Chains A and B, each alone.
Chain A
């Protein structure tokens, strides 16, 4: 076990470096390379095509019959609605997750562990099954529709196959990702700070706004990121609960790799999604650094 320590360190690092390279580096590069190629035969990719940015151009412009490029907003609209849908879901998760996390932090040790277990249980259930469950609840003869109709009889209310259904489904799926980081912040929270705020004249809501929320901000940011980013790429929930009408970025990508057999265009979309997520995370990091300073 003698020899150059630098070499030895490199040797010990090799498994980790190899894992990162093979499982993350290579696939990402492959994805980017494919996004520059053309749609081809049965495999979906024409590996011999000359690389070009054609697929990215197709996202925004369409070539007319006479060769002029005209603006095609359909993909931009889907991108925008994906962002909007993810933002709404994040907001709803925060709205429901914050009180739950606050309440959990105030429980006894045993009760807390129980609640953590209950909150993570849905993770163990198949995503499809959970979405089908919402399908049953939200459809016209489902109990929720029936109940609403019973309270305000104005004809059946369409709950399924719209943006609302997708928002409900996504919020349900990603709520634990909001609750858990918030809970870790609140668990460490010094409750005497709220007493101090009251003592200094702050009412309940003022103490919440001036003390609790600012101190919980790292948890709120982490939870929002954990909900927002997977929401952008979600495709099971929009496909099932949106009824194929309300498409999100994830659905288009899935379509390209599946039915359309256009891997390069799907890869280009995936790269755009990746870039979008990266952008959000960088913004978040910059904002957090500024706050710390």
Chain B
């Protein structure tokens, strides 16, 4: 795996500040990112995802650990000697240069002959459909257009790895959705590794081949979007990605779990004592009041067009969300008591 990795992060730690004000931003992080992979670092602000990206770009230096890009140890290399390029959060386009000068910036540094630069700049601008804006300055472009130019600029020198630091966060929702699709197509076309940083879980799930969920300077869980969504291992991951219901329960010997109402479910686990169960709103089902694992009262029902979302109150007062995609099915009246069936294969026992 190591030899074929595009980026290999080995036990990297990083802190800022000294003495009492010192903050550990990354704690012993290790990741292997494969060739042509769309890899996403996902987490709330302050989780260390941007710092990890900056370490790979070379804007920060790791306190400990190694960073290897395409088999080359770049841990101590300055940013201008690394085969990676960055798309910055606010684009960081050079305001005094035209679009084509921006895109050609790295090529001039590589001392490429002028005619080749012109050809490559044209190619790159074509990739993001910005050819007709070549002579404009960044200030004359809209946010989405600047975004495209930033992409073209970072792709023009044909980096081994493209680093994207929340590149879509400054765009409005509609444009963001469009750019997501374009990014995905662009990656396929360019055939290079994308390392994407975002706090938007939906964006992460849509775009990525693999996602690493970060919190407090550590990677909690890493895997394909489907695994992360369906099989969260940590309470934080479950809570951060999508809607989820968390149920306090008690682990019994022999893979059994006892719920608050006394009902027992068999779910494989190694836990003891109090545990948290997680189930997605679309996995639970409404049944007759005495047939389910839990009883709940219907508080509110929202019609979303593609589904109904019931807001239920459990006997201990906790809220339970249930998504019913069968719009023509029976709909429990508000205030009524219903039973909740929790399929054992949809339940996850979480680490705290």
Q: Which residues of A come within 8 Å of B, CB atoms?
A: 190, 192-193, 195-203, 206, 210-211, 214-215, 217
Contacts and interface: CB of A to CB of B under 8 A. Distances in A.
Contact of B92 (A192, A202, A210): A192
B85 interface: yes
B157 A201 contact: yes
A197 B57 CA distance: 12
Interface string B105-120: 1101110000000000
B112 to A, nearest CB: 11
A190 to B, nearest CB: 7
A192 B153 contact: no
Contact of A200 (B59, B78, B96, B106): B106
Given A211-B94, A215-B95, A215-B96, A196 B88 contact: yes
Contacts of B58: 198-199
Contact of B79 (A190, A199, A215): A199
A197 B157 CA distance: 13
A201 B109 contact: yes
Contacts of B79: 195, 198-199
A203 B80 contact: yes
A198 B106 contact: no
B57 A199 contact: yes
A139 B93 CA distance: 52
Contacts of B110: 201
Contacts of A210: 105, 108
22 contacts: A192-B90, A193-B92, A195-B59, A195-B79, A196-B86, A196-B92, A196-B93, A197-B94, A197-B105, A198-B78, A198-B80, A199-B58, A199-B85, A200-B109, A200-B153, A200-B154, A201-B80, A201-B106, A201-B109, A202-B109, A203-B78, A211-B96
A199 B94 contact: no
Nearest to A291: B96
Contacts of B157: 200-201
A261 B157 CA distance: 71
Interface of B: 57-59, 78-80, 84-86, 88, 90, 92-96, 105-106, 108-110, 153-154, 157
A266 B277 CA distance: 95
A201 B154 CA distance: 11
B96 A214 contact: yes
B88 A202 contact: no
B59 A202 contact: no
A99 B110 CA distance: 28
A222 B80 CA distance: 32
A195 B78 contact: no
A270 B281 CA distance: 86
Instruction: List the 5 closest pairs (A to B, CB-CB), nearest first.
Output: A200-B106, A201-B109, A196-B92, A198-B79, A192-B92
A211 to B, nearest CB: 6
A186 B54 CA distance: 23
Nearest to A201: B109
Contacts of A196: 86, 88, 92-94
A203 B77 CA distance: 12
A206 B109 contact: yes
Q: Which of B59, B90, B110 has the most CB of A within 10 A?
A: B59
A197 B80 CA distance: 8
A106 B84 CA distance: 27
Contact of B88 (A192, A214, A217): A192
A202 B76 CA distance: 17
Nearest to A192: B92
Nearest to B163: A199
Contacts of A215: 94-96
Nearest to A196: B92
Contacts of A192: 88, 90, 92
A128 B95 CA distance: 44
Contacts of B92: 190, 192-193, 195-196
A190 B139 CA distance: 14
Given A193-B94, A198-B80, 12 more contacts: A190-B92, A195-B88, A196-B86, A198-B59, A198-B79, A199-B57, A199-B86, A199-B154, A200-B157, A201-B106, A211-B96, A215-B96
Nearest to B106: A200
A86 to B, nearest CB: 28
A158 B340 CA distance: 99
A202 B80 contact: yes
Contacts of A214: 96
A139 B58 CA distance: 51
Contacts of B94: 193, 196-197, 211, 215
Contacts of B154: 199-200
